[in-house]
Chains A and B, each alone.
Chain A
Amino acid sequence: MLSDREIIEGCLKHSRKAQQLLYDKYSRFLLGICLRYASDRAEAEDILQDVFVRVFFNIDEYSGTGSFAGWLRKVAVNTAITNYHRTMKHRYHVDIDEYKSMETGSVSFEEDLFSADELGRVLNELPPGYKMVFNLYAIEGYKHREIAEMMKIDVNTSKSQYSRARAMLREKLSHLRDLRKSYQADSNNEDGE
């Protein structure tokens, strides 16, 4: 396996082999990011393709100082945002503004209760804008100010959408957990008898 440096040098020369190695090494990592932003797998793979095209053609923009994975992640997030802006035009978009629930108390979740796939699905149930903001803030760790710039929204919108998204996720997850618990209780009862 070649090192990142060798792969990058190969890609700079547009070597097909280096590009394939780059794909083999990072496609799964990047798909994991794309999936969180896309509404389904097909869209995620489309974004992933765009990400790699961008990476291959703009690899000279990578300064070489920071971590390469971090740079790839940034490209992926930017591509996902571009894609979001593009698809928003085509989607019939309803924001759940009537949603009036507040966070009630603190609820804790065991990590093992939910798989990444399930969390992804719950995330996908959020309105598209909420999902973007939550992804960027909570998982990618951007500041609200940066998100506002990237998404071309107001800082306060970013803040309120984030808190809203969090409340909704919390509610959805606890609902899911309760469902699962009752299911487990049922199956336990059956086992006992």
Chain B
Amino acid sequence: MERKGKYSDVDDLFRNRFSGYEPVPGPGLKARLMKKVAVKEFFSFYPARFNVYYLAVAAAVTGAVLLVTLGGGSGKSLPETMKIPGDSVAAIMQPITDTASMTHSPGVAPVTGKTPAFTTGNRPSDSHKESQPVIFSADEVDRKTVKSDAVSVTVDPIREVANPVRGDTTLQKTAVSSFKMSVSSGCAPLVVELTSTSGNAHSLQWSSGDGRHSDGKSLTWVFNQPGSYTVSLKAIGYDGSEDNASAMIVVHPSPVAKFDVSPANREVSDRDIMLFNYSAGFLTAAWDFGDGGKSHLRDPLHSYKASGKFRITLKVSNEYGCFDTLSKVYSTAPGIYRIDFPNAFIPNNNGPTGGYYSLRSDEAAYVFHPEYEGVTDYHLVVYSRTGVMLFESRDLNIGWDGYYKGQLCEPGVYVYRARGRYANGEQYQKSGDVTILRFR
């Protein structure tokens, strides 16, 4: 029923399992490949595969050349080239006329200024002045500002009078919908205060554009999700007439500030600390390290010259001017000076590595090296138990890889001695034994 091949070695397991592994390629692959090969062969021109396509292309090229030489003289191609700038001009003009028509469109009252204004609609169907619905809109507008902060805008671009046939009814009875918003755009979460300025309305129906409804005179809505929402207000008059006003609210996404400091709490102030910016959705970062230092880098390094507690603040902002800040208190203590050696290590049995190690790489685990802070001068010597000097280093970045003249040293006890000087001028001398363990 089953083959009981036992593999103590993963190499063999993988090699045997994959030796007969022949999955079937996807069905379209062959066609795609052949197409690719055909194209490539075509362009690399193999005489062996000379065929009718080359003739066709040659004919086409000759034809094109002839056409150009003939057409260039008669000037036939001139109007074609002229057309292009004309089109682009039209394309550029398009948005301009659009915005122009928008500001003058019927029903829209782009009133700048503090005074409430009465404007009359320009509907072609409404010929009598009396029959026209009077639009009341109280604008406190600065339409130029699209920035997020404290702009109050009243917009009522879409306006429908429910029953324009009722033109002869008095102006008091027709409901007119309009409202004020505290802001029209801003960063999420955006708090918008809405106040109805509708006239002749006996009931109001608000709709937020994201599923919320209300019927109050004034209300506050919070928009948490970025996006654009159409807030609309329907006013129903005493005579049953209805009027709608709506406005667009744009909610910009806000960045989220997040960062980490490494090492978490530094006891020595002589090395740089690393700051990792994990913020989401931001464009620029501004760091304040709390000691007067500032940076605009994404992930800066910083070193504190003094000890104490510092408040690190990160402010991230995006292209909409939305920002978020986060502060963390970071403490540093006066410098300490130490050097310590492990009492055992496992050399890499794949061969000598030269002893260079970096604390960020896995080589560090295979190399006998000290943990140190504030060391300037360093001299390490390793002896075997019979007194043979096996290793010597004056470089803190080079430790012992467990090899002597290219040979891996036997597992067992070895003796080391380290001498040197700390950054504060104090001398140190450390000695002890280190055990080499077998790799596995």
CA distance A119 to B16 in the complex (A): 11
Query: A47-55, A85-93, A181-189: which lies at the B interface?
Result: A47-55
Check if A16 is an interface residue, CB within 8 A of chain B.
yes
Q: Taking A48-B25, A100-B365, A102-B346 as contacts, is the C-beta distance between A116 and B36 under 8 angstroms?
A: no
From A114, which residue of chain B is reached at the shortest CB distance?
B17
CA distance A109 to B46 in the complex (A): 53
Check if B411 is an interface residue, CB within 8 A of chain A.
no
Q: Taking A32-B23, A116-B18, A138-B14 as contacts, is the C-beta distance between A111 and B3 under 8 angstroms?
A: yes
Could you mark each residue 71-91 of chain B with 1 if its beta carbon is under 8 Å from any beta carbon of chain A, else 0? 000000000000000000000
B34: chain A residues within 8 A (beta carbon): 16, 19-20
From B8, which residue of chain A is reached at the shortest CB distance?
A108
Name B362's contact: one of A112, A160, A173 (CB within 8 Å): A160
CA distance A62 to B7 in the complex (A): 36
B22: chain A residues within 8 A (beta carbon): 28-29, 31-32
A contact residues, total (Cβ < 8 Å): 56
> Is the beta-carbon distance between A48 and B37 smaller than 8 angstroms?
no
CA distance A40 to B2 in the complex (A): 30
Q: Taking A13-B48, A112-B3 as contacts, is the C-beta distance between A170 and B10 under 8 angstroms?
A: yes
B33: chain A residues within 8 A (beta carbon): 23, 49, 52-53
CA distance A141 to B125 in the complex (A): 87
Name B439's contact: one of A20, A23, A32, A102 (CB within 8 Å): A102
A35: chain B residues within 8 A (beta carbon): 21, 23
Name B18's contact: one of A14, A57, A102, A139 (CB within 8 Å): A139
CA distance A13 to B3 in the complex (A): 46
Q: How far is the CB of B14 from chain A (nearest CB, A)?
A: 6
Query: Quick one: which of A3-24 are within 8 Å of B by CB?
Result: 13-14, 16, 19-20, 23
> Is the beta-carbon distance between A160 and B11 smaller than 8 angstroms?
no
B284: chain A residues within 8 A (beta carbon): none
Check if A67 is an interface residue, CB within 8 A of chain B.
no
> Is the beta-carbon distance between B21 and A156 smaller than 8 angstroms?
no
Q: How far is the CB of B194 from chain A (nearest CB, A)?
A: 45
Contact residue range for chain B? Answer: 35 or more
Check if B405 is an interface residue, CB within 8 A of chain A.
no
Check if A123 is an interface residue, CB within 8 A of chain B.
yes
Check if B440 is an interface residue, CB within 8 A of chain A.
yes
Q: Taking A14-B46, A160-B350, A163-B350 as contacts, is the C-beta distance between A36 and B37 under 8 angstroms?
A: no
B29: chain A residues within 8 A (beta carbon): 27, 45, 48-49
Q: Taking A138-B14, A139-B14 as contacts, is the C-beta distance between A111 and B5 under 8 angstroms?
A: yes
Query: Quick one: which of A131-177 are within 8 Å of B by CB?
Result: 134, 138-139, 155-156, 159-160, 162-164, 166, 169-170, 173
Q: How far is the CB of A76 from chain B (nearest CB, A)?
A: 13
> Is the beta-carbon distance between A53 and B36 smaller than 8 angstroms?
yes
CA distance A104 to B438 in the complex (A): 12
B10: chain A residues within 8 A (beta carbon): 109, 138, 166, 169-170, 173
> Is the beta-carbon distance between B32 and A123 smaller than 8 angstroms?
no
Check if A193 is an interface residue, CB within 8 A of chain B.
no
> Is the beta-carbon distance between B360 and A97 smaller than 8 angstroms?
yes
A/B interface sample: 24 pairs, CB < 8 A: A14-B46, A20-B30, A23-B33, A28-B25, A31-B24, A49-B36, A53-B36, A57-B40, A57-B44, A100-B365, A102-B439, A105-B440, A107-B8, A109-B7, A109-B8, A112-B3, A114-B13, A116-B17, A120-B18, A156-B348, A160-B363, A166-B11, A173-B10, A173-B13
Give the B-binding residues of A (Cβ under 8 A). 13-14, 16, 19-20, 23, 27-29, 31-32, 35-36, 41, 45, 48-49, 52-53, 56-57, 97-100, 102-112, 114-116, 119-120, 123, 134, 138-139, 155-156, 159-160, 162-164, 166, 169-170, 173
